[in-house]
């Protein structure tokens, strides 16, 4: 094997160093993380949409026979699934396994943030912006007014937390609820594929019920209790952040309970049909 000439190696190393400095000093420098992460989130949505379309064309027997709007929703659910896996995993890590929001550390936990936590929120903002744009563009094919309200409130709250660094703990607690999104999407895929009476559909319905109960009902109760315990710290936030900490989760929790009622009815109806 021939050795690469030194005259070639030196320019390559120089370009590598310049690229590393660009990433370190600009793309991932603290002041630029919010903007680069939002753009990265929007780009990731586009990539996920195209990959879902490509993979489905090759490996799904159902996809080629769908209408145009059904294909758009199919691909769009691919985006939400990828985002949900990413943000719920990051949220669980930051809330329960990292020490970023530990009570043992000095300083108010409502003002704590890190480059990683800010980056994750930026990716989520990019997703909410992209998905809301698609919902509005094709309204009401991809979802009604409840989806517009949900995405608007979520996007505003996440963006505020990302730019200010306030209440990132509570923002990530709420984002853990995205763990239910892949199951909801699987339910839609199975239904669209004509597998509503399959065992997989029933099992997925039970998983949705359990995941929703834990991540969108009990966890919200735990979050409100945590806010109550740390109220002397929460009250020191900016008034807008203070309102968001109470207002947005309250609205989302109400919507979650309404949807949970529908989930219970759906599970009971499916079980009754299988007797």
- 76 occurs within a structural domain: yes
Q: To which residue do tokens 């000095």 refer?
A: 106
For residue 127 the two structure tokens come to: 């997703």
Task: Express each pLDDT in 239-258 by its tens digit.
Answer: 999 999 999 999 999 999 99
Residue 270 is encoded by which pair of tokens?
């499916």
- Asked whether 72 and 138 are in contact (CB, 8 A), the reply is yes
pLDDT at 18: 55
Range of the domain at 50: 29-273
pLDDT at position 26 over 50: no
Q: Does residue 256 contact residue 216 with C-beta atoms inside 8 Å?
A: yes
Q: Tell whether 171 is covered by a domain.
A: yes
260, 249 in Cβ contact below 8 A? Answer: no
- Mean pLDDT, the chain, rounded, equals 89
- Classify residue 15: in a domain, yes or no: no
Mean pLDDT of 197-220: 94
SS3 string of the chain? CCCCCHHHHHHHHHHHHHHHHHHHHHHCCCCCHHHHHHHHHHHHHHHHHHHHHHHHHHHCCCHHHCCHHHHHHHHHHHHHHHHHHHHHHHHHHHHHHCCCCCCCCCCCHHHCCCHHHHHHHHHHHHHHHHHHHHHHHCCCCCCCHHHHHHHHHHHHHHHHHHHHCCCHHHHHHHHHHHHHHHHHHHHHHHHHCCCCCCHHHHHHHHHHHHHHHHHHHHHHHHHHHHHHHCHHHHCCCCHHHHHHHHHHHHHHHHHHHHHHHHHHHHHHHHHHHCC
Predicted confidence band of residue 267 (pLDDT cuts 50, 70, 90)? confident
Within a domain: 13: no
Tens digit of each residue's pLDDT (9 = 90 or more) over 130-150? 999 999 999 999 989 989 998
Least confident of 104-118, 130-144, 160-174: 104-118
How many domains would you assign to the chain? 1
Domain presence at residue 14: no
Least confident of 104-108, 203-207, 262-266: 104-108
Asked whether residue 19 is assigned to any structural domain, the reply reads no
Q: Cα torsion at 267, 268, 271, 272 (round to 10°)? A: -150
Q: Quick check: is 187 in a domain?
A: yes
CA distance 179 to 83: 10
Q: What is the pLDDT of residue 225?
A: 97
188 pLDDT tier (thresholds 50, 70, 90):
very high
Give the per-residue pLDDT at 46.
97
Examine residue 18 and state whether it is found in any structural domain, yes or no.
no
């Amino acid at each position: 094997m021939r050795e690469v000439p030194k005259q070639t190696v030196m320019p390559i190393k120089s370009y590598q160093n310049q690229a590393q400095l660009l990433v370190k000093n600009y793309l991932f420098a603290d002041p630029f993380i919010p903007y680069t992460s939002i753009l990265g989130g929007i780009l990731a949505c586009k990539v996920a949409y195209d990959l879902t379309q490509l993979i489905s064309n090759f490996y799904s027997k159902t996809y080629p026979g769908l209408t145009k709007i059904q294909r758009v929703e199919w691909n769009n659910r691919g985006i939400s699934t990828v985002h949900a896996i990413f943000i719920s995993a990051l949220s669980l890590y930051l809330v329960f396994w990292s020490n970023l929001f530990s009570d043992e550390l000095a300083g108010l936990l409502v003002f704590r943030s890190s480059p990683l936590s800010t980056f994750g929120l930026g990716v989520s903002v990019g997703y909410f912006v992209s998905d809301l744009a698609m919902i509005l563009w094709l309204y009401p094919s991809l979802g009604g007014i409840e989806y517009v309200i949900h995405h608007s409130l979520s996007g505003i709250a996440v963006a505020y937390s990302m730019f200010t660094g306030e209440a990132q703990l509570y923002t990530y607690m709420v984002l853990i609820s995205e763990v239910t999104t892949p199951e909801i999407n699987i339910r839609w895929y199975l239904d669209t594929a004509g597998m509503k009476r399959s065992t997989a559909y029933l099992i997925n319905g039970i998983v949705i019920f359990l995941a929703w109960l834990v991540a969108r009902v009990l966890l919200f109760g735990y979050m409100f209790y945590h806010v109550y315990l740390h109220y002397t710290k929460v009250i020191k936030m900016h008034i807008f952040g203070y309102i968001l900490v109470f207002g947005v989760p309250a609205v989302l929790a109400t919507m979650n309970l309404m949807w949970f009622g529908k989930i219970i009815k759906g599970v009971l109806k499916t079980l009754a049909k299988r007797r």
